[in-house]
């Protein structure tokens, strides 16, 4: 391969950085991606072979299940930082998404969107990121600009393992709110990076 | 007469993937992930003799910007794994450059994280 432009390319091309957007079905993940993305969200698909793991409602069928998972994603180029943020969200069937190791590999962190009326829908995402050690912030989507619960109440109801996990109130349609949740995630990552010994398992 | 055989869809014929990958079905030497950035090599298709799909991909990720594998897959309407194979083929032939996503050590680099944070605060 030509060696002449390797260095130049490294400086010119922004590095891809992956952030995941999870939460239950219909909680506004794609809306969040759309709000901050510089392109119309795109959808791509992958076929996963799920060897019965976590697939417990297929009438006891133990054989391998091939399933197609989809994800919606957008991007945000941060020229000054030399990175392109890719925000990946799932339109549904998140439990299959969780078997998708490639999605997690190299991800910076995640935003878990919750609808306080259906908190249980966000439990799998919280459990998944906690068990895999991927830092995340919680965003309570306020569909009508109102939120009857406080951040503390939501954190308690989600049984967050790390009490310092940020819980933010946001409107997934608001660019300011979505940006604030990303900044909160970066602040969390910076704190963890500065004190790696303090990370509990 | 068998009635339940799949009928060919009128008007739209999907190109077989092995045709797109020039017969390749095994993994390419170049390992790509969904968040690898692909940039077309300079003068990759000077004589215009490459398959249409390849040309389309090269045009899509023209330098200097480049595009993530996932984005190319989405825009080409091809699933991720076949797309990775195809792009691996292009990389092996020197038609594209690729930039891998950040390594774990980089994702915990405080200076990089601060740069990202500050850039976000300015958008």
Mind spelling out the 3-state secondary structure of chain B? CCCCCCCCCCCCCCCCHHHHCCCCCCCCCCCCCCCCEEEECCCCCCCCCCCHHHHHHHHHCCCCCCEEHHHHHHHHCCCHHHHHHHHHHHHHCCCEEEECCCCHHHHCCHHHHHHHHHHHHHC
pLDDT confidence tier of residue A9, bands split at 50, 70 and 90: very low
Q: Does residue A199 register a pLDDT over 80?
A: no
| Residue A41 in domain | yes
The two structure tokens encoding residue A85:
């943020």
How many domains does one find in chain A? 1
User: In this prediction, what percent of chain A has a pLDDT beyond 70?
Assistant: 78
| CB-based contact B103 A106, cutoff 8 Å | yes
| CB-based contact B34 A196, cutoff 8 Å | no
Q: Does residue A201 register a pLDDT over 70?
A: no
Least confident among A80-94, A129-143, A165-179, B64-78: A80-94
The predicted structure's pLDDT at residue B8: 47
| Residue A88 in domain | yes
The two structure tokens encoding residue B87:
């792009």
* Cα dist from B17 to A104, A105, B21, B113, whole Å: 27, 26, 6, 39
CB distance from B111 to chain A under 8 Å?
Answer: no
Contacts of B110 in chain A (CB under 8 A): 190, 193-194
Q: Which residue has the tokens 């965003």?
A: A139
The predicted structure's pLDDT at residue B84: 92
pLDDT confidence tier of residue A89, bands split at 50, 70 and 90: confident
User: E strands of chain A, at which residues?
Assistant: 15-23, 42-50, 65-78, 83-89, 107-114, 136-141, 167-170
Q: How far apart are CA A41 and CA A179, in angstroms?
A: 17
Q: Does residue A93 register a pLDDT over 80?
A: no
Q: What mean pLDDT, rounded, does chain A reach?
A: 81
Closest CA to A16 of B41, B72, B67: B67
Mean local confidence (pLDDT), A119-134: 89
Instruction: Decide if A170 contacts A139 (C-beta within 8 A).
Output: yes
Output the domain CATH number for residue A151. Answer: 3.40.50.300
The two structure tokens encoding residue A74:
């957008």
Tell me the domain boundaries of chain B.
Answer: 17-122
Sign of the torsion formed by the C-alpha atoms of B27, B28, B29 and B31: negative
Q: How far apart are CA A23 and CA A121, in angstroms?
A: 7
Mean local confidence (pLDDT), B100-119: 90
Q: Does residue B6 register a pLDDT over 60?
A: no
Instruction: Decide if A63 contacts A42 (C-beta within 8 A).
Output: no
CB distance from B43 to chain A under 8 Å?
Answer: no
- The alpha carbon of residue A118 is apart from the nearest alpha carbon of chain B, in Å, by 30
Q: Does residue A98 register a pLDDT over 70?
A: no
| CB-based contact A10 B99, cutoff 8 Å | yes
pLDDT confidence tier of residue B28, bands split at 50, 70 and 90: low
pLDDT confidence tier of residue A4, bands split at 50, 70 and 90: very low
The predicted structure's pLDDT at residue A1: 43
The predicted structure's pLDDT at residue A53: 46
Tens digit of pLDDT for each residue in A56-68? 444 444 556 777 8
| Residue A10 in domain | no
Q: Does residue A47 register a pLDDT over 90?
A: no
What are the phi and psi torsion angles at B39 (to 5°)? Answer: -130, 135
Give the list of residues 6+ apart from residue A133 with CB closer than 8 angstroms, or none.
A201
Contacts of B113 in chain A (CB under 8 A): 186, 189-190, 193
Neighbours of A127 (CB within 10 A): 14
Full domain range(s) for residue A138? 18-196
Nearest beta carbon to residue B110 from set A79, A107, A190: A190
Cis peptide before B64 (omega within 30 of 0): yes
HSE-CB for A89 with a 13 A CA cutoff:
29
| CB-based contact A189 B108, cutoff 8 Å | yes
Tens digit of pLDDT for each residue in B34-61? 899 999 997 776 667 888 889 999 999 9
Give the architecture (CATH level 2) of B17-122.
Orthogonal Bundle (1.10)
| CB-based contact B68 A86, cutoff 8 Å | yes
| CB-based contact A42 B41, cutoff 8 Å | no
| Residue A9 in domain | no
Q: How far apart are CA A76 and CA A130, in angstroms?
A: 26
Tens digit of pLDDT for each residue in A108-118? 999 999 988 88
Tens digit of pLDDT for each residue in A148-184? 889 999 999 999 999 889 999 999 999 999 999 999 9
| CB-based contact A102 B34, cutoff 8 Å | yes
ipTM of the complex as predicted: 0.83
SS3 A195: coil
| Residue A12 in domain | no
| Residue A182 in domain | yes
Q: Which residue does chain B place closest to A12, by CA atoms?
A: B64
């Amino acid at each position: 391969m030509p060696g002449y432009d390797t260095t130049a390319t490294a400086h010119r091309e922004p590095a891809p950085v992956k952030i995941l957007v999870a939460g239950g079905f219909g909680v506004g993940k794609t809306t969040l991606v759309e709000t901050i993305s510089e392109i119309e969200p795109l959808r791509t698909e992958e076929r996963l072979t799920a060897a019965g793991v976590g697939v417990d409602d297929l009438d006891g069928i133990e054989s391998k299940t091939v399933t197609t998972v989809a994800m919606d994603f957008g991007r945000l180029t941060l020229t000054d930082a030399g990175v392109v943020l890719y925000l990946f969200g799932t339109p549904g069937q998140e439990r299959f998404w969780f078997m998708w190791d490639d999605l997690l590999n190299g991800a910076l962190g995640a935003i878990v969107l919750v609808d306080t009326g259906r908190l249980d829908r966000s439990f799998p995402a919280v459990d998944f990121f906690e068990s895999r050690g991927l830092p995340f912030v919680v965003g309570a989507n306020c569909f009508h600009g109102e939120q009857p619960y406080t951040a503390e109440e939501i954190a308690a109801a989600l049984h967050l393992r790390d009490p310092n996990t940020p819980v933010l109130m946001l409107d997934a349609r608001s660019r300011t709110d979505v940006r604030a949740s990303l900044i909160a995630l970066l602040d969390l990552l910076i704190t963890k990076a500065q004190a790696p010994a303090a990370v509990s398992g | 007469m068998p009635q339940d055989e799949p009928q060919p869809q009128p008007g739209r014929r999907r190109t077989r993937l092995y045709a797109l990958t020039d017969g390749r079905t095994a993994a390419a030497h170049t390992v790509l992930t969904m968040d690898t950035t692909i940039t077309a090599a300079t003068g990759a298709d000077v004589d215009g003799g490459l398959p249409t799909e390849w040309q389309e991909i090269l045009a899509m990720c023209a330098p200097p910007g480049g595009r993530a594998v996932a984005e190319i897959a989405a825009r080409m309407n091809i699933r991720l794994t076949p797309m990775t194979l195809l792009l691996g083929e292009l990389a092996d032939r020197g038609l594209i450059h690729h930039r891998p996503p950040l390594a774990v050590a980089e994702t915990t680099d405080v200076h990089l994280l601060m740069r990202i944070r500050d850039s976000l605060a300015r958008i």
